[in-house]
Structure formats: structure tokens, C-alpha cells
Chain A
Amino acid sequence: MRALLSVSLALAAFTAAAANERPVPPRPGLDFQSAETRQMQSDDGANPGMLWVEQGAALWRRVEGPEQRACASCHKSAADSMKGVAARYPGVDAASGALLNIEGRINQCRKQRMSVIAYPYESNELLALSAFVSYQSRGLPRKVAVDGPARPFFEAGRAFYNERQGQLNLACGQCHNDNWGKRLRGDVISQGQTDGWPAYRLEWQTLGSLHRRLRACSLGVRAEVLDYGAPEYLALELYLAWRGEGLPLTSPSVRR
């Protein structure tokens, strides 16, 4: 009986902890931006991220390689075939068992189906295509699978999120769970939601991937800055997607 009680108590504690893990309510990254930035994002005529979306649309139709294929050869109209796809990513690829984000899936498709080389991370082409694919899910709520084959990746991402890192000895949650909405010098601390990525960051003067943003986080706490597409960042991307479940996607968004 006692054992059962302690198990159920432990379970209750775990559920409570799981509930506390996600900020309630989840608030999109846009909520923490200045009025000017919000206006820039809301107007497609002024949102610089749309430049990449348009280039992505052109790349979608560009026939390449020995197979003489474009993305559109198989997937046809992205507005139909890619609708809601970004909301389900990152996900586990059934064939290889690897965790893939949108960038990873695009490059897997290029290598395996088009027999052409992968785009380097953060290349203009990969940014444009990933922004274009994410754009097809604009306004659709995020919902990723974290069970089954995705579970180990999810747990790895959760562990990475909760691990104290760097010379400042900070875990992600110490800012983004415990102190969001408060000010850190001139900035308002966001919840660390990923609904708007890839995003045009004014500091960068260009569109950038989520991993570029995560690298900036690592640098900020003076931890090791990992490679683009590193397994730790991929797992973290999955965990963050789960953490912001239900938030509508807003890529390409504008960030400070």
C-alpha cells in the first residue's frame, strides 16, 4: 500500500513537474518584441523574411541533378503538400531512425531523391527553402510527436534544456521558465518559443535558422557553441517544439 502510495505520489509529482515545464499560457516570441518589430512582421510588404520565402518558392521549382528533379516534381504544389508539415517537425525519420528537422529533411531529400549535394547549413538556399516550407504552415498550431521512437531524443533535449551550462552556469529554464516577461537590461526575456523560426533577426541583418539562434544562446551563457545541426541542438529543437505545443507557427518572423 505504502509502495503504491509513494509510486502514485511520485507520479503526481512528475506530472506536476511536467506541467510546470511548459510556460502557461505559451506566448509567441512576437509578444516580447517592440511595437516597431511587431509591425514589421505583421506586414508582408515590410517583412524582410519574405524575400527568402520568395526565393524558396523559386528553388522549389528548380530542376537539378542527374535525376532532373525539383522539389515540385514529387511534392507538386507546396501550398497543399507542405501545409502543416513544419508544425510536425522535428520528427524521427522512419527509415534511418534519425531525428530530422526541416533543414535535415530538405537535405535528405536532396541527397536521396535528387542525387545532388546537401545545402550547407545557413546557406542562402537552405534558409530560403526552409523558410518557404515553414511559411506553408503559417498560423497552424505546433504539434510534435514525442513518444515512441522520438522519446529518447525528447528526453535528451529535455536534459539539455535543464542542464546548467557554461561559465555563467545557467540552464535555459532559469531565464525562459522562471523569469520570462522580466527585463534583462534592455530586453524583455521571452519564453524561448520557436514558433517564428527561421526568422529575420535585425541584429544579424539576415534570415537565420533556429540553430544559429541556439548558438547565440550558448555563446550568451559562455558555454561551448555547438555545430549547426548538432545532435544536442536537434534534440533541444524537439523539446522546445513540445514546450510550445499549440502555438501557431509564424515563420518568417522578425526578431530584434
Chain B
Amino acid sequence: MPQPTRIVMPTSAKKGEVFQVKTIIQHEMESGFRRDNRGLAIPRHIITSFVVRYAGGEIFRADMFPGVAANPYFGFTTTAVETGEVVFTWTDDRGDVTTERRTITVA
């Protein structure tokens, strides 16, 4: 099931300009190490992979492990090369995929 996300980035940039991208996704990031009131292990449920693709290539990748806090935030910069879609993909360990797309116009 796709999770709620927030992505902050410019909608346009000059060619060669470096712009900032901020992303956050709502996810419990349950580590798998905790136990519930009855002493039973709470199954692990984390996002394991976050990939950003733009202009035909991968521009950012992160692999996540149980130590990452809930609602993981990633901010990074990249260079505007061409008008097109930036595609954000989060995949969790149950196979649920959240995909978001943002268009940037490069002049």
C-alpha cells in the first residue's frame, strides 16, 4: 500500500543549476526487536530501499536497516540537466512500493 509522502523541490531550474530535494515518507519502521504487551515479537516492517531516478539515471540511493527512525527523511542535491520527471521509489520489506513523480522544467 502506498504511504503518504512529502517532496519539496523546485519545479524549474536553469541548466547546470544545483537544486535541493527534500523527501519524507510516513512509515513505522518497526525494527523487529521490540516485543508487545504479551511478550511476542513485533514483526519487522521497514523500508529497505529508496531510489531516485532522473534523466535516465539513478541520482540517489539509500539502503535502510532497522536502526533508521520512523518516517525517514532524505535531503540531497542534484544538478538540473534536462526537463523531465524525477521518480522517487520507496520499497519496504513486505514488497510494498510507494512511487512519486515530480516534473522539473529546465531552461
Distance in Å from the Cβ of B78 to the closest Cβ of chain A?
15
A45 to B6 alpha-carbon distance, docked (Å): 7
Q: How many A-B residue pairs have CB under 8 A?
A: 34
Nearest B residue (CB) for A40? B73
Chain A residues positioned under 8 Å from B22 (CB to CB): 43, 45-46
- Chain A residues 48 to 103 lying within 8 A of chain B, measured CB to CB, are 48, 50-51, 54-55
Find out whether the CB atom of B70 lies under 8 angstroms from the CB atom of A51. Answer: no
- Chain A residues 142 to 175 lying within 8 A of chain B, measured CB to CB, are none
Dominant SS among interface residues on chain A: loop
Find out whether the CB atom of A45 lies under 8 angstroms from the CB atom of B4. Answer: no
Please count how many residues in chain B sit with their CB below 8 Å of the partner chain's CB atoms. 14
Find out whether the CB atom of A51 lies under 8 angstroms from the CB atom of B75. Answer: no
Given contacts A45-B24, A45-B75, A46-B24, whether A51 and B69 have CB atoms under 8 Å apart is no
Q: Quick check: is B62 within 8 A (CB to CB) of the other chain?
A: no
Find out whether the CB atom of B71 lies under 8 angstroms from the CB atom of A51. Answer: yes
Find out whether the CB atom of A44 lies under 8 angstroms from the CB atom of B8. Answer: yes
Find out whether the CB atom of A45 lies under 8 angstroms from the CB atom of B71. Answer: no
Chain B residues positioned under 8 Å from A202 (CB to CB): 69
Given contacts A45-B24, A48-B24, whether A54 and B4 have CB atoms under 8 Å apart is yes
- Our pick among B8, B26, B28, B29 for the contact of A51 (Cβ within 8 Å) is B26
Nearest B residue (CB) for A55? B4
A43 to B6 alpha-carbon distance, docked (Å): 12
Find out whether the CB atom of B6 lies under 8 angstroms from the CB atom of A50. Answer: yes
A50 to B24 alpha-carbon distance, docked (Å): 10
Chain A residues positioned under 8 Å from B4 (CB to CB): 51, 54-55
A46 to B75 alpha-carbon distance, docked (Å): 8
Given contacts A51-B24, A54-B6, whether A46 and B73 have CB atoms under 8 Å apart is yes
Supplied contacts A46-B24, A51-B4, 15 more A-B pairs, CB within 8 Å: A46-B22, A48-B26, A48-B73, A51-B24, A51-B26, A51-B71, A54-B4, A54-B6, A55-B4, A202-B69, A205-B28, A205-B29, A205-B70, A205-B71, A206-B70
B contacts, CB < 8 Å to A: 4-6, 8, 22, 24, 26, 28-29, 69-71, 73, 75
Pairs A–B under 8 Å by Cβ, sample size 19: A43-B22, A44-B8, A45-B6, A45-B75, A46-B24, A46-B73, A46-B75, A48-B24, A48-B26, A48-B71, A48-B73, A50-B24, A51-B5, A51-B24, A54-B4, A54-B6, A205-B29, A205-B70, A205-B71
7 closest Cβ contacts across the A-B interface? A45-B8, A45-B22, A205-B70, A48-B71, A51-B26, A51-B4, A55-B4
